Amino acid sequence: MNEDNYLNAGYSLRSWFFTTDHKRIAILYFASLIFFFFIGGAAATAIRIELATPQADFVSSDMYNRLFTMHGVIMVWFFLIPSIPNTLGNFIVPLMIGARDLAFPRLNLLSWYLFMLGGSVTLFAIAAGGIDTGWTFYTPFSTLYSNSYVAVAVTGVFIAGFSSILTGLNFIVTIHRLRAPGLTWYRLPLFIWSLYATSVILVLATPVLAMTLLMLLAERVFHVGIFSPQLGGDPLLFQHMFWFYSHPAVYIMILPSMGVISEVVPCFSSKPLFGYYFVVWCSIAIAAIGFLVWGHHMFVAGMSLYASLAFSFLSYLVAVPSAIKVFNWVATMHEGWIRFDAPMLYAFGFIGLFTIGGLTGLFLAALAVDVQVTQTYFIVAHFHYIMVGGAVMGYFAGLHYWWPKITGRLYPDYWARFAAILAFFGFNLTFFPQFILGYLGMPRRYQSYPPEFQIWNVLSSAGASILAVGYALPLFYFAWSILRGPRASANPWGATGLEWTTPSPPPTENFPKTPTVIRPPYQYDRGVPCPQADNG
Amino acid sequence: MGERAIGFQYSTVAQERETVTLGMWAFLATEVLFFGALIAAYINYRIWFGAEFIAAASLTKVALGTANTAVLLTSSACMAMAVTTRDAGKTRAPVLWLVATALLGLIFIVIKATEWFLEYQEHLVPALNFDLGRHGGVAEIFFIFYFCATGLHALHLLIGISLVSWLAFAIGTDRLKPGSTTRLIGLYWHFVDIVWIFLFPLIYLAGRNG
């Protein structure tokens, strides 16, 4: 183990909670996100227990509404959105571009404090009695009728939004200005390109959510009409503004995962990534077109047919760059020296599940099909394939890929592979039956259902228990790895990025000497990696 | 004005300058979308309820609003002078220009507060004393937007005034090392000005073209 590293630079609480080291802030985020992930997961567990039987028997209907809202709010804003950018991104971005830190280290710490403040406020709303509006906070229910802690929860989300903005801003500026000598834009690893695209969305979409939530708060707290139809307001306006953020937010969740997969696939295929430029510009295209498709959440909300047609067309269009990426990853593996380590297994899982999620997204972009399946479990299954099958699988892939770099320790590969396979099967068993349920007409957000749907719901609940084991296993072997794991070398996987040229775990200043980049990423000479810099 | 230390994450002074400048522009991009969302929602209703919004807009104090526009534009000119003189290496001139900028900002706030007080007396404040019977629900929507927009703008301006006052103090007492700070705060100040340039015609001048 590297003698002088960021982990043994100080052991006091102060050296962690007032650190400006991007690597330590990443660890702070990581610990917080595990906490929120298990809170959101607990709500999901209760939902799946309730749905195992057709009758409403486990919790009251009021409680059920609060459970799925809590699951959505926590998972979207306090796990998925910050997941890869704030943990892996925070840790890896400066290392990957050969910088000593992010451009604004103190802003980075502030971002974590804002996140924790927003999270605490939202948790307070949940502990005090919960929210029953669904994570979308649709008006006028959320502003006029709901008797739950909407205002507090919305305030929490509002605060957490500033954390997102600061992180996005920091990444954009860092990637523009702090790249090592020789690291041109087209030599940037694709993880950096994806986080750049993600950051643009964070900076440009989050403020719109902030303003929308402020208007919602004004209406709820002061009882004035902004979206309320009684006073001439337009409830659809809320939906437009909400989805103007929340659809790009889907790309905030999936783009970083795509970036991870673009790192993992060439590394474990020991081959250059196929079509680097296409993947780069597909990331940018997804971010750009992603801003123009929000209306597909509102096809049945009473929008003009012409608007629906335009949104439908654009939604098909945004699928093209995503599909190009999938083909690029598959082509990269073609004739490669593939190794089946845990990160690669998670990457396989991502590619398969994301493809199913993406293809069913095309069903939903079709106006007529959407009318049939909107507000059913088909939607629930579709977005879980993207957000859990895609984003979370990518997060786990990245975690397993960079774990030796972050901790300086290896983990038991056998258990990690087992967890990856378990999560893949558990996931499919949980969510594939929901496609069928939705197609048969079971609406989302109901706690009871006709008995003929029970078989699919039981399958789904059984799958959820397997998935839960798949997600819990890493806790154990990662804990073991920290305590007992064998030391990791600087480049255990044979990867080419700059982050692998510095010791594991990296020293506080990242590189003993600023590296000079001499070649593009993912260069392999007959399976032998050619690092981007000769020596860090 | 000797050598100065740069942040450990930078390698040159130029790199630090370019980095912090880009950071401010990225922040302003966020702000554009923040106000942009409010303005878009306002325009939505402005188009939808054309006649009602024109009637409601006629209740705003256009003379005070116009005076305030002049005050704010003048403050931006002062800010620009502060940046230019600071870049030229002067020490006394930028302080004076900054003080003028902050004072003009304060005058804007005073005039704005006067407007709000007059509107309060006329029962135009939603949630507080809005006279629904006299003006109707749509006029209330107009005034919600009016108070949200001008209120958020005033909040930004107050932050700007604090920053400019601190800057004048720091330069005047020679606590500030040479660098980009003046230009960054200048960018922010001009941005707050530009927000007003959009708000003024949208709110005050609706239907006043005849």
* Average pLDDT across chain B, whole number: 92
Mean pLDDT of B77-100: 94
Chain B's closest residue to A171, CA to CA, is B23
pLDDT tops 60 at residue B146: yes
Chain B: nearest CA to A178, how far in angstroms?
A: 7
* Residue B115 contacts residue B61 (beta carbons within 8 Å): yes
Report how far residue A287's alpha carbon sits from residue A289's, in angstroms, rounded to the nearest whole number.
6
Chain A's closest residue to B128, CA to CA, is A222
For chain B, the residue count is 210
pLDDT tops 80 at residue B5: no
pLDDT tops 60 at residue B1: no
* Residue A387 contacts residue A358 (beta carbons within 8 Å): no
Contact A211 B45 (CB under 8 A): no
Distances (CA, A) of A489 to A2, A486, A495: 9, 10, 12
Contact B33 A208 (CB under 8 A): yes
Q: Which residues of A touch B18 (CB under 8 A)?
A: 177
| pLDDT for residue A535 | 63
Report how far residue B26's alpha carbon sits from residue A102's, in angstroms, rounded to the nearest whole number.
15
Question: Would the CA dihedral through B27, B28, B34, B37 be positive or negative?
Answer: negative
Chain B: nearest CA to A108, how far in angstroms?
A: 13
Complex-level ipTM: 0.93
pLDDT tops 80 at residue B89: yes
Following DSSP, what letter does each residue of A5-46 receive, concatenated? Answer: -SSSS--SHHHHHT---HHHHHHHHHHHHHHHHHHHHHHHHH
Instruction: Tell me the pLDDT band of B11, cut-offs 50, 70 and 90.
Output: confident
- Taking the Cβ of residue B30 and every Cβ of chain A, the question of whether any pair is shorter than 8 Å is answered with yes
- Taking the Cβ of residue B15 and every Cβ of chain A, the question of whether any pair is shorter than 8 Å is answered with yes
From A240, A239, A215, select the one nearest A226 (Cα to Cα).
Answer: A215
Contact A225 B31 (CB under 8 A): no
Following DSSP, what letter does each residue of A214-274 receive, concatenated? Answer: HHHHHHHHH---SS-GGGT--HHHHHHHHHHHHHHHHHHHHHHHHHHHHHHHHHHHTSPPT
Give residue ranges of A with CB < 8 Å to any B CB. Answer: 99-105, 165, 169, 172-173, 176-178, 203-208, 210-212, 214-215, 218, 222-226, 230-234, 237, 241, 244, 509, 514
Chain A's closest residue to B147, CA to CA, is A218
Which carries the bigger pLDDT value, residue A373 or residue B1? A373
Chain B's closest residue to A168, CA to CA, is B26
Contact A225 B27 (CB under 8 A): no
List of residues 6+ apart from B35 with CB closer than 8 A: A211, B149, B152, B153, B195, B198
Instruction: Tell me the pLDDT band of B138, cut-offs 50, 70 and 90.
Output: confident
| pLDDT for residue A357 | 96
Chain A: nearest CA to B12, how far in angstroms?
A: 11
Chain B: nearest CA to A216, how far in angstroms?
A: 12
Mean pLDDT of B180-194: 96
Mutation target vs B (from A102, A104, A169; most B CBs, 10 A cutoff) = A169
Q: Per-residue pLDDT tens for B102-120?
A: 999 999 999 999 999 999 9
Look at residue B89 and give its three-state secondary structure: coil
Contact A237 B44 (CB under 8 A): yes
Q: Residue type at B87?
A: D
Q: How many CB pairs under 8 A join A and B?
A: 101
Report how far residue A80's alpha carbon sits from residue A316's, in angstroms, rounded to the nearest whole number.
24
pLDDT tens, chain A, 536 aa long: 457 899 988 899 999 999 999 999 999 999 999 999 999 999 999 999 999 999 999 999 999 999 999 999 999 999 999 999 999 999 999 999 999 999 999 999 999 999 999 999 999 999 999 999 999 999 989 998 999 999 999 999 999 999 999 999 999 999 999 999 999 999 999 999 999 999 999 999 999 999 999 999 999 998 888 998 887 789 999 999 999 999 999 999 999 999 999 999 999 999 999 999 999 999 999 999 999 999 999 999 989 999 999 999 999 999 999 999 999 999 999 999 999 999 999 999 999 999 999 999 999 999 999 999 999 999 999 999 999 999 999 999 999 999 999 999 999 999 999 999 999 999 999 999 999 999 999 999 999 999 999 999 999 999 999 999 999 999 999 999 999 999 999 999 999 999 999 999 999 999 988 999 999 999 998 889 999 998 64
Q: Per-residue pLDDT tens for B22-47?
A: 999 999 999 999 999 999 999 999 99
Which carries the bigger pLDDT value, residue A179 or residue B136? A179
| pLDDT for residue A536 | 42
Chain A: nearest CA to B104, how far in angstroms?
A: 28
Following DSSP, what letter does each residue of B16-48 receive, concatenated? Answer: HHHHHHHHHHHHHHHHHHHHHHHHHHHHHHHHH
* Residue A161 contacts residue A210 (beta carbons within 8 Å): yes
Contact B138 A234 (CB under 8 A): no
Bond preceding residue A531 cis, omega within 30 of 0: no
Q: Which residues of B touch A93 (CB under 8 A)?
A: none
End-to-end CA distance of chain B: 57
Contact A215 B148 (CB under 8 A): yes
Q: Which residues of B touch A241 (CB under 8 A)?
A: 37, 40-41
- Taking the Cβ of residue B141 and every Cβ of chain A, the question of whether any pair is shorter than 8 Å is answered with yes
Contact B26 A172 (CB under 8 A): yes
* Residue B75 contacts residue B193 (beta carbons within 8 Å): yes
Chain B: nearest CA to A231, how far in angstroms?
A: 5
Chain A: nearest CA to B207, how far in angstroms?
A: 20
Report how far residue A227's alpha carbon sits from residue B44's, in angstroms, rounded to the nearest whole number.
12
Q: Which residues of A touch B127 (CB under 8 A)?
A: 222-224
Chain A: nearest CA to B15, how far in angstroms?
A: 7
pLDDT tops 80 at residue B4: no
| pLDDT for residue A3 | 72
- Comparing CB atoms, the residue among A173, A206, A244 nearest residue B22 is A173
For chain A, the residue count is 536
Chain B: nearest CA to A347, how far in angstroms?
A: 33
What the block records as the tokens of A501 is 């040229």
Chain B: nearest CA to A394, how far in angstroms?
A: 28
- Comparing CB atoms, the residue among A177, A203, A205 nearest residue B15 is A177
Q: Which residues of B touch A249 (CB under 8 A)?
A: none
- Taking the Cβ of residue B172 and every Cβ of chain A, the question of whether any pair is shorter than 8 Å is answered with no
Give per-residue burial for A31-41: e unless 16+ CB within 10 Å, then b. Answer: ebbeebbbbbb
From A445, A423, A424, select the one nearest A434 (Cα to Cα).
Answer: A445
Contact B23 A210 (CB under 8 A): no
Chain B's closest residue to A234, CA to CA, is B45
- Comparing CB atoms, the residue among B18, B37, B126 nearest residue A212 is B37
Contact A103 B127 (CB under 8 A): no
Contact B36 A208 (CB under 8 A): yes
